[in-house]
Structure 1
C-alpha cells in the first residue's frame, strides 16, 4: 500500500526544510530522524513516509493533565504543546532586532544550554521550558492543565514570561505559532502499525473579536491579550508542490523581516499543513517582565460562555489553585517520606510518578499512556492500582478494581480462541491478543487491595462472587494438555504469541494464591477447591520448568536460566526477563512456593540476565531493540528482595540518570543538549537516545508510549519497598525496615536520617518510622512512629556487622546481619562495627 498523499507531502516538506535550512520550528524528534535514520520501517508501516509521519522511533515527550480527566496534553522538548486528540501543536518564539529566534534551533552566541526543561519543583505536573537566545532576553514557559468554570472543563494554561538576561534589557516581539507538526507526530498509528487517526491541520480561522483560533472543527488557543499582528498560512489552491510550503510560511516571512500576512483564514486541502503566527511587542529594558497567557481548550468547549470561563478570572488564580491541589495531594496525603539530600531526588521522582498515574486515570480507569496506550489493560492497570493504593490513593484504586476490572469480566458462553469466555477478565486487548495472564493479575490485585483495605472494608467479600471464584475456576479449567497456561501473547516482552509462557503461569499462581487467601479470610466454602486449583497449576508449572532445565543440561547449556517458556523460543534470549515476575510482583519466592530447586533456578536466572542482558539497564534485543525501563525496575526489585543491593543500586542509577532524565547533544559534538525527558519513562528507551546517538540498532526499534504508567508504578513500588516491605504475610508476619537504604545514604555530610509516615501496608494498618544514624559512634536508632500490630520488624543492617541490639531497652539477638525486633517494639538501638 502506498503512502497517503499528505504523508508524502509531509515527508518532502520536512526533509527539504531541514536540508535547505529553511526557518521552521522543527521538533526534536524530526531532527533526530534526520540526524540518523535507519530508513527501515520493520514492516509496521506501508512506506518510510508513513513511518516518518507517525513518529514511530522517537516517542519522547512530557505531559500535562488533570486527575481523572479523559484527555492529556503532550509537551515537546522545546515546549511545543499538543492536546492529544487535536490536530495541532502550539509553540513560542521571539524576534529581537529583526532576527527570528526559534527554541528548536541553535543560534551562534547562545549560552549552553540555551534550552532547558524541568518539572516545577522537580515533581509537580507543571512543565517549565526556558529558552535563552543570544538576544539579551530569556523566555520561561510554564505549562499546566487545570479545570475552569462551573462545568469543570479541562484546559491547558500556558504562561509565557519574557525577562532581560543581561543589563539594559531589550525590546522585541514574543511570538506564538500554531503548527501541524506535533510531539507525537503528524499522523497517528497504533503500536502494530494500524491507522488510528488522521490529524492534518486543514483549516484555520482566527476569530479576532473573541481572541481565539479555530482549528479544523475544533478549538485552538485562546489569548488573554490580543496580538498586535497575526497571519494564517495554507494552500488554498491545493498546489501539489512541496516548495509551496517552504515559501508560504510565517517563519520564512519573519526571518526575512517581513510582516505577517494578516489573513484571518487559511485552508489546505492537499496536505493539511496549515500554520499560524501571532505577535506581541515587549519592552524589558527597565528590568521588568512581559507576561502572556494563553489557553488551550482541551475539553468539550461548545459555546461562547464556555470560552468565557477561560478568562473570567486572572490566570494566576488558576495557576495557584492548581499548585495548591497538587501540593495537598502529593505532599500532605498518603505515604510521605524524607530522604537524605544525596537521594532526595528519588522522593521527587516518586511524587512525579504518583502525579502521572493520577493524570493517566480516566474516571478511575488507569491507562498505561496518553496516546496509543490511552485505553484499559488488565495487566498494567492491576499493577498501577496497587501502586496507587499503597501510595494512599485508595479511591482511584477502588474505582479501578471495584468497577473497571469488573466491567470486563466475561459472562458469555462463547470462546476466546481455545479458551472459554465465561470467567475471563479481559476487554478488547486481552481478548484479541489472548492475554492469558489477565485472570491471575486481576485476582492478585483483588487480593492485595483486600489486604491493604483491611477486614472492615470487606473488599474481598464484595468481589468474591462471581469474580474471584469464577475467575479462579477459569484458570483451573483453561490450560494446555501439559497443565500449564495456553499459548498466547500476554505481553510482547516475553516472546512469540504462538508459544506458552511461564509469565502466565507465575501470574496465574499468584492470582490463585490470593483467591484462596480471600476465601479463607471471608470463610467461603470453596477454600479447598481453590487450594486444589493452585496445587494443580503449581505441580504442572514446576514439572514443565524442571523438564526444560533438564533439556538445557542435556544440550550442554552450562548457565542456569528459566526461559520464557517450554516452547520453541526457550533459548537464551532476553525474553527470559519474564522469569523476574517470580520475585516481583508475584512474591512466589516467599516460602519457595515452587520448590527449593526451582527457587535456586530462578535466582540463578537473575545472574544470567545480569551477565547477558544488562548494560546499564536491561537491553531487550529479542523483541524491542531497545532498553526496557519498567523491566529494569522489575529486575532491580528482584535484586532488592534477595538482598543484592549493589545490582539494585546500579539499575536504579541507570533508570533515573539515563532514562528518566535522558539528554542528547543537539548535534554531534555539540556542547548544548536537548533535555529529552524530565522525570518520566517511555515503555522502551531507544538505544540512540540512551547512547547519545553513538549506537544505532541494525534494525528499527519499538517505542510504545510515555509517560508509561506501568513504569511509573514500578518505580513507586520499588522505592516504597526500598524503605520497607512486608514478608510472610500469611504465616510469620514480618516487616523489613529500610531494606534498600544503602550505606552511602547515611554517611558523610549528606544527612543521616530516613523517615516514613502514613504508609499503607498489606497488613491493613499504616506504618511509619524514623531511622537516625550516629556515624561517629556507629549507632542506628529506629523509632516506630506508626506501629503495625502483630508483626516482627526486621532491620537488615548494611553498614557493618552488628555487635549488639536492643528493643525498647531490652537486648535482642544480633546475628551479624538482620536484627529481628519483636512485635510491639517502639524503639530500637543497634550498634555495629
Structure 2
C-alpha cells in the first residue's frame, strides 16, 4: 500500500489559464454576465466555430494612462461570494475594481472603481477609461453627462461640443443597452489603439502620491437607476446575500482550508449556472458554449448535486433527461452527430440517481424507458454484426461520434465503453426492482458486448514511441485527424493529430464508476502507465482531449484520479486533486482545456466557468473520503496524510451512496485517531477503512474491541448503529 503523501498540497493556481471568465449572477438568473481576467464585462456570447468566439458587447476598463500594466490580479472576495476584485497595477498608479451583480428594483451589473496614485508621485492626471465594443452599435447620450445608450451604427449621432462632449441623440431606443457613470461625468475619447470601438473617460483629475479617486459604473439589464450611494449599498446587500446562501446543504468538511474553499466555490459555481427551464431549476454546464444540461456532463452534475444536498435540482435534471427520449428508444440530446453513447449514459444516470436516493418507485416509473433504451442498444449490436468482416467495429457497435478529442463519425471505442457502463447499470437497476427476467436479458447483452470488446482489444493494443503498451480509442480506418475522419496522415497537422491518450475519458468511466474491469486488468494497468508518463509536466495527464498539442483537459484529471483510486493508488488520486485545483483561475473557476503553462500558444477549448469541472472537484473530494466499490464501501481511501495532523477534523454528514446514507466524523489528536461511522440503509455492508500511516502501527479498537494493527481495517456497517474506531500512534 502506498503512503498517502501528495506531491504538492498547496493550492496556489500556478497553472491558471491566461484567459479567464468569471460569472457574476445569482442562481437562476438568465443574465449570465461574465468578468474577464482584466476586469472587462462580457455580454452576448457567440461561437462561429470550434475555436472562433466573440461577445456582442465587451466593456473594458483601465486607468487613464499610456503606461502598460505591470501586474493584473483577480480573485473573488471569498469562496462564497461571486464578487470579483481586480487590481491593475501601473508604474505610477493602481486601478482597483469590485464587480458584482445586484438585484433591486432592476437587475444591474456594478463596477466600483478606485484609481490611486503611487506613493511619492508628484502629480498624476488620471481617471477611469472605458472601452465599449458593441457589435453593430455605437454609444450616445441624450444630453446627460452620466449615461450613454446603444444606438445602431447607421444612426451616426453627432457630438455638439468639439471638446469634452459626448455624441447625442434625441431619444433612447426602446430596450437600448445602457451604461451609467456614478459620481463622475463622462467625456468622449478614443478607444484603445484607436480601433472601431467607443472610448469614454471620466473627467480627468490630478492626484498626488497616495491620493485616490473613486466612482461606479452601472450597467442596468432592465429599467432601473442606481446612484453612487446606492451602488455602494448594493455591494453590502450582495455580500449579505452570498454569505447567507446555503450552497452546501450536506456538510462535507476537510481540514485543508484551501480545499474547503474550492468545495464552497464549486457549489456556488454550479448554482450560478443554473437556469429555470419550463419551471424546473436546471443545472447548466456553463454560461456560453455549453449552456444547457448535456447528458454526459449531466450524469456527473446530478451526482454532485446529490452530494451537496441539492435534491430539488437533481430531481429537475432527471425530468430534463426524460425529455430527450426518442421514439426508437434512444435517449439523445446531440442530434447533429451520431452520439450513440448518450443512451448508455442516460441509463446509468437513471439507475445511479435511484441508487443514491433509494427512490425505487421513481426508477420503476422510468423502467419502460430503460427497457426501450436497452432494446435500442440491442438493435445497434445487430447493425454492427452486419458490418464488413474486416471492419474494426464488427460485432461491437456502429461508427459514432467519440467526443473528448474524437470528432466526426468513426470507428472508436468510447461508445463501447459507455454502452457497457450503461448496460451494467441496467442490470443493477433490474435487480433493484426485482425484475429478474430483465436482469438476465440485460446481463446477457452486457456479457456479449464485453466478450466482443475483449476479443477486439487484444488485436488493437499498441505500443507508443516511448515503449508504453496502450489501447487506442481511435481505431484503424478512421485516420489520425481528430475532427476529420479518414484524412490522409500526411495532411494532419501536429495540433490536430490524435495521440495515444486522446479520448481516454470514457475508458476512465468504464473503469469507475462502470467497474467493467478488474483493478489489475491489463487495460487498467496500461492506461495508468500511460497517464503516469503524461502527468510529469503539470501534475495531471496532458493532451487527453480536444487539444492534442501541449495542452491539458483540466477536469479530466478527476476521471483519471478515480481510475487511480479504483486501482488502489490513493497517492495518485490525492496528487491529482491538488494539481486539478491548481489549473483553476484564482476566482476558482476552470476552463475546459488550455495550453500548458508557458507554452504560449493560443488554443483553448470549452466553456468557462465549466461546471463539469466544479462537479468533478466535489465528486473527487467526496470519493477520497467515501468511495463505493463493488459490494462495499472504502472509507478514507485517499485522504492525504496531512489531513490527519493533530487537531484535524473531517466531517461527512449523510452523504448518499448505493448502500444508504453514510456519515463520518474523524478527529485526529497527537497520539490518537477517532473515527465514527454511521450508515443508514438496509442490511449490513462491508467496508474497508484505511488508516493514515502514523496510526496504522499502534493499537486499534473497533467499538472497544482490540484488533490487529493494520493500514486497512475491515468493518461491518449495520443499519443505523454507529461504529467507533480508535487508533493509536
TM-score of the two chains, using structure 1 as the length reference: 0.69
- Say whether 1:827 aligns with 2:724: yes
Distance 1:287 1:60, change over 3 A: closer
Cα contact 1:368–1:374 (8 A) shared by 2: yes
- Distance of 1:280 and 1:640 partners within structure 2: 60
Distance 1:541 1:574, change over 3 A: farther
Please point out which of 433, 438, 447 is paired with 1:529.
438
Cα contact 1:636–1:652 (8 A) shared by 2: yes
- Distance of 1:323 and 1:475 partners within structure 2: 50
Please point out which of 114, 136, 153 is paired with 1:161.
114
The CA RMSD measured in Å over matched residues stands at: 3.7
Q: Secondary structure at the match of 1:231?
A: strand
- Say whether 1:811 aligns with 2:706: yes
> In the alignment, which residue of structure 1 is the partner of 2:32?
72
In the TM superposition, residue 209 of structure 1 has moved relative to its aligned partner by 4.2
Q: Secondary structure at the match of 1:478?
A: helix
- Distance of 2:210 and 2:459 partners within structure 1: 76
Cα contact 2:519–2:566 (8 A) shared by 1: no
Cα displacement string for residues 150-190 of structure 1 (whole angstroms, at most 9, x for unaligned residues): xxx5432222234576489987543141322xxxxxxxxxx
- Distance of 1:448 and 1:400 partners within structure 2: 13
> In the alignment, which residue of structure 2 is the partner of 1:758?
653
Cα contact 1:476–1:533 (8 A) shared by 2: no
In the TM superposition, residue 439 of structure 1 has moved relative to its aligned partner by 1.0
Higher relative contact order, chain-length normalized (CA < 8 Å, sep 6+): 2
Cα displacement string for residues 475-503 of structure 1 (whole angstroms, at most 9, x for unaligned residues): 2222321342321114142x353333332
> In the alignment, which residue of structure 1 is the partner of 2:12?
none
Please point out which of 259, 267, 275 is paired with 1:346.
259
Cα displacement string for residues 685-740 of structure 1 (whole angstroms, at most 9, x for unaligned residues): 113xx1263xx5xxx74522222222222222111211222333xxx3x3332222
Cα contact 1:499–1:567 (8 A) shared by 2: no
Distance 1:223 1:686, change over 3 A: same
- Distance of 2:56 and 2:475 partners within structure 1: 46
- Distance of 1:337 and 1:70 partners within structure 2: 29
Counterparts of residues 581-592 of structure 1 (less than 5 Å): 581-584=506-509, 587=512, 590=515
> In the alignment, which residue of structure 2 is the partner of 1:183?
none
- Distance of 1:492 and 1:632 partners within structure 2: 13
Cα contact 2:306–2:314 (8 A) shared by 1: yes
> In the alignment, which residue of structure 1 is the partner of 2:348?
444
Counterparts of residues 200-279 of structure 1 (less than 5 Å): 200-209=135-144, 211-216=146-151, 219-223=176-180, 225=182, 227-231=184-188, 249=190, 273-279=196-202
Q: Secondary structure at the match of 2:410?
A: coil
Cα displacement string for residues 739-763 of structure 1 (whole angstroms, at most 9, x for unaligned residues): 221113334xxx5423224353124
> In the alignment, which residue of structure 1 is the partner of 2:332?
426
> In the alignment, which residue of structure 2 is the partner of 1:406?
322
- Distance of 2:513 and 2:283 partners within structure 1: 26
- Say whether 1:743 aligns with 2:641: yes
Distance 1:209 1:579, change over 3 A: closer
- Distance of 2:149 and 2:575 partners within structure 1: 50
Counterparts of residues 425-824 of structure 1 (less than 5 Å): 425-427=331-333, 430-455=334-359, 458-465=361-368, 467-479=369-381, 480-481=384-385, 482-493=394-405, 495=406, 497-524=408-435, 527-550=436-459, 552=461, 559-564=468-473, 566-568=475-477, 574=499, 576=501, 578-579=503-504, 581-584=506-509, 587=512, 590=515, 593-594=516-517, 599-612=521-534, 615-616=537-538, 617-620=540-543, 623-624=546-547, 625=549, 626-657=551-582, 659-661=583-585, 678-687=587-596, 690-691=597-598, 693=600, 701-728=603-630, 732=631, 734-747=632-645, 752-763=647-658, 765-775=660-670, 777=671, 779-784=672-677, 790-800=684-694, 801-812=696-707, 814-820=709-715, 822-823=717-718, 824=721
> In the alignment, which residue of structure 1 is the partner of 2:97?
141
Distance 1:831 1:170, change over 3 A: farther
- Distance of 1:742 and 1:550 partners within structure 2: 39
- Distance of 2:514 and 2:232 partners within structure 1: 52
- Distance of 1:537 and 1:425 partners within structure 2: 18
Choose 443-452 or 611-620, whichever is displaced more: 611-620
Please point out which of 349, 361, 369 is paired with 2:286.
369
Unaligned runs of at least 5 residues, structure 1: 1-56, 108-113, 181-198, 233-248, 254-270, 412-421, 662-676
Distance 1:323 1:523, change over 3 A: farther
> In the alignment, which residue of structure 2 is the partner of 1:4?
none
Choose 206-215 or 634-643, whichever is displaced more: 206-215
In the TM superposition, residue 803 of structure 1 has moved relative to its aligned partner by 4.3
- Distance of 1:176 and 1:159 partners within structure 2: 13
- Distance of 1:759 and 1:200 partners within structure 2: 50
Unaligned runs of at least 5 residues, structure 2: 1-16, 46-54, 153-174, 386-393, 481-496
Distance 1:516 1:148, change over 3 A: farther
Distance 1:222 1:653, change over 3 A: same
Q: Secondary structure at the match of 1:620?
A: coil
- Distance of 1:210 and 1:642 partners within structure 2: 66
> In the alignment, which residue of structure 1 is the partner of 2:58?
89
Cα contact 2:401–2:407 (8 A) shared by 1: yes
Cα displacement string for residues 422-464 of structure 1 (whole angstroms, at most 9, x for unaligned residues): 222223xx221111110111121112222222238x3323333
Cα displacement string for residues 311-364 of structure 1 (whole angstroms, at most 9, x for unaligned residues): 699234433343333333356x42333333xx3211211222222222222223
Counterparts of residues 11-90 of structure 1 (less than 5 Å): 60-85=20-45, 87-90=56-59
In the TM superposition, residue 284 of structure 1 has moved relative to its aligned partner by 7.9
Distance 1:490 1:321, change over 3 A: farther
Cα displacement string for residues 653-712 of structure 1 (whole angstroms, at most 9, x for unaligned residues): 33222x214xxxxxxxxxxxxxxx53222111113xx1263xx5xxx7452222222222
> In the alignment, which residue of structure 2 is the partner of 1:357?
270
Q: Secondary structure at the match of 2:627?
A: strand
- Distance of 2:461 and 2:193 partners within structure 1: 65
Please point out which of 215, 219, 228 is paired with 1:292.
215
Q: Secondary structure at the match of 1:679?
A: coil
Distance 1:768 1:432, change over 3 A: same
Distance 1:767 1:454, change over 3 A: same
Distance 1:722 1:324, change over 3 A: farther
Cα displacement string for residues 11-69 of structure 1 (whole angstroms, at most 9, x for unaligned residues): xxxxxxxxxxxxxxxxxxxxxxxxxxxxxxxxxxxxxxxxxxxxxx9753333223122
Cα contact 2:462–2:472 (8 A) shared by 1: no
- Distance of 2:95 and 2:462 partners within structure 1: 64
In the TM superposition, residue 224 of structure 1 has moved relative to its aligned partner by 5.9
Cα contact 1:115–1:131 (8 A) shared by 2: yes
- Distance of 1:357 and 1:740 partners within structure 2: 25
Q: Secondary structure at the match of 2:438?
A: helix
- Distance of 1:295 and 1:549 partners within structure 2: 63
Cα contact 1:443–1:471 (8 A) shared by 2: yes
Cα contact 1:618–1:627 (8 A) shared by 2: yes
Q: Secondary structure at the match of 1:368?
A: coil
- Distance of 1:499 and 1:386 partners within structure 2: 30
In the TM superposition, residue 122 of structure 1 has moved relative to its aligned partner by 3.9
- Distance of 2:519 and 2:640 partners within structure 1: 29
In the TM superposition, residue 782 of structure 1 has moved relative to its aligned partner by 0.9
> In the alignment, which residue of structure 1 is the partner of 2:241?
325
In the TM superposition, residue 279 of structure 1 has moved relative to its aligned partner by 0.5
In the TM superposition, residue 79 of structure 1 has moved relative to its aligned partner by 0.7
Cα contact 1:745–1:752 (8 A) shared by 2: no
Which structure shows the higher helix fraction?
1
